Structure 1
Amino acid sequence: MSSPSLSPPRDLRSESTELGDVHIGAAPERGRRRGSLARRAAAVLPGLILPVTILVVWQIASETGRISPILFPSPTTILDAFADLAGAGTLWEHTSTTVMRVVAGLLIGGGLALLFGALVGMLRTAEQVVNPTAQMVRMVPHLAMTSLFVLWFGIGETSKVLLIAKGVFFPIYVATFLGFRDTDAKLIQVARVLEFSRFDIFRKVLIPGSLGHLFYGLRLSVGIAWGAVVVAEMISSSSGLGYLMIDARSFNDTPVVFVGILTFAILGIASDLALRAIERRTLRWSDRRAT
């Protein structure tokens, strides 16, 4: 009678090794993530030292009466005013109005700047005709044009949006013009040898080659747009963050003025961070990326 066949014993040591490999492989991955977070924290923390110190000193000076609470309300008082305005919906209403004006001004001014910048960058004749006038208008102070815009277009939305558009036009125009001119001439020559059409050269060579300049000009324009909308809303408006600040100033409500400043700071930082993230993603292949 033959003995029944027995299955070979399980190689527990081998199985243990395989499981161990999984854990060993996962540990470095977690280590890399922690290292990445640590590096990001190390990069951010030095930039927080100065503002945090200013806020602490400001708060202490306010509580001890070293500074006037009317001129410089404490940070906690400003945060309370921020919370009250946000809870009542007033802050969001004025903020949305301001954001819509900035977006409209960027679309109009940025679109025209791209058009004229591309023409001047591609055509010498356009540069000779357009660029001298554009540079002359660029030197006119922005505030000097405010009264004219109100006279020409009234006190409605048109004058506000066009004032923003005028402010954002020139950084994008100059960046587009320089971006096209700084594109590697060898790439253009290769494209001509390959019998690319002018549109293909524009789309496949000039646009990618000038993206670094374009993003830089756009980031400058966004900063100018936030400043321009403040001026527009303070001069003639019944809504928006600029109006909220000028109205609060007339009633000596300084915390609300600081709430407007804080909101503009948040909007400006958020928009710049968003543009930098888009730039990094778009220009992965290039060394001209946001820093």
Structure 2
Amino acid sequence: MMANRSAWRTRVVRPGLIGPIGLVLLWSVAHSVHWVTPRLLPGPLETFGTLWSSVVQGTLWPDLVATALRTGYAFVIAAVAGIPVGVVLGSSPVIYRSTEFIIDFFRSTPATAMFPLFLLVFGIGEESKVAVAAFSAWLVIVFNTAYGVMNARKTRILAARVMGASDWRVLRDVMFYESLPQTFVGLRLGVSYALVVIIVAEMFIGSSDGMGRRIIDAEQVYDLGQMYGTIIATGCIGYAINLGFLALERFFVKWSGK
């Protein structure tokens, strides 16, 4: 067991630190030799010190929780509404071809371009932020789930039909499970999209809290250490969420690729 843990640390943990350490070193050099004026790019020690102070003093947590809750609400709505629609679209070529242009059109439209529409429908408030983020994530989840269903292995579907399974049983017990690996890809992308849209919405739609509001406030008073520190914290949130979904995928989709 100890040998396995040591091997895992050597293969994964240490190589995984090369990129972050290299980035921080490059940042330090850029700050030290004034590749970018220090007025626009504070050093890493100053930035991480400001971030640490925000964490210890607790000023960061209310904004972080507000952003996480909005992202969570948007993602849950998108997943609950997106997975069934994706399964239906993927299982019926006729329905998929009938709706492909509409869904692909909105998927190709930047979510930020949809802000005015959602503001008109939902008003200036929490609903508009969550709705536009949920819509953006929903499109990604629908397409990935549909692709997963369409690419379900024909041999398994044929075997289920030979054994007398009805269309509903084939859809529920074969296609759904075969689509899970691609569905998890859609879920990971969807939650990332939701987080990005929520951050942008907090910046420009208007909000009294949240990481996006914190970034804009720091930029307006020229507190660049706070601004960059909040950006780093936001990136860490997204990275942690991605790792969490990868772990869930490995746990629930053990048959992927088999």
TM-score relative to the length of structure 1: 0.82
Q: Which of 206, 217, 223 is the matching residue for 1:247?
A: 217
Q: Which of 216, 223, 233 is the matching residue for 1:263?
A: 233
Q: Distance in 1 between matches of 2:218 and 2:83?
A: 38
Aligned length: 257
1:169 and 2:138 equivalent? Answer: yes
Superposition deviation, residue 114 in structure 1: 1.1
CA contact (8 A) 1:62 1:69 kept: yes
Aligned residues with identical type, % of pairs: 31
Q: Which of 171, 184, 193 is the matching residue for 2:162?
A: 193
Matches within 5 A, 1:45-194: 45-63=14-32, 67-194=36-163
Give the corresponding residue for 2:182.
213
Give the corresponding residue for 1:273.
243
Superposition deviation, residue 252 in structure 1: 0.5
Q: CA RMSD in A?
A: 2.0
- 1:258 aligns to what SS in structure 2? helix
Tell me, which stretches of 5 or more residues in structure 1 are unaligned?
A: 1-31
CA contact (8 A) 2:87 2:176 kept: no
Q: Distance in 2 between matches of 1:179 and 1:39?
A: 31
Seen in structure 2, the aligned counterparts of structure 1 residues 66 and 131 have a Cα distance that, compared at 3 Å, is closer
TM-score relative to the length of structure 2: 0.91
Give the corresponding residue for 2:198.
229
User: What amino acid does structure 2 have at the position aligned with 1:77?
Assistant: E
Higher RCO (CA-CA < 8 Å; seq separation 6+):
2
CA contact (8 A) 1:188 1:201 kept: yes
Tell me, which stretches of 5 or more residues in structure 2 are unaligned?
A: none
Q: Distance in 2 between matches of 1:50 and 1:121?
A: 39
Could you give the per-residue CA deviations for residues 136-192 of structure 1, whole angstroms, max 9, x where no partner exists? 222222221112222221110111001111211122111111111111122222222
Seen in structure 2, the aligned counterparts of structure 1 residues 208 and 255 have a Cα distance that, compared at 3 Å, is same
Q: Distance in 2 between matches of 1:42 and 1:275?
A: 21
Q: Tell me whether 38-47 or 111-120 shows the greater mean CA deviation.
A: 38-47
Could you give the per-residue CA deviations for residues 51-74 of structure 1, whole angstroms, max 9, x where no partner exists? 313313433553565643321111
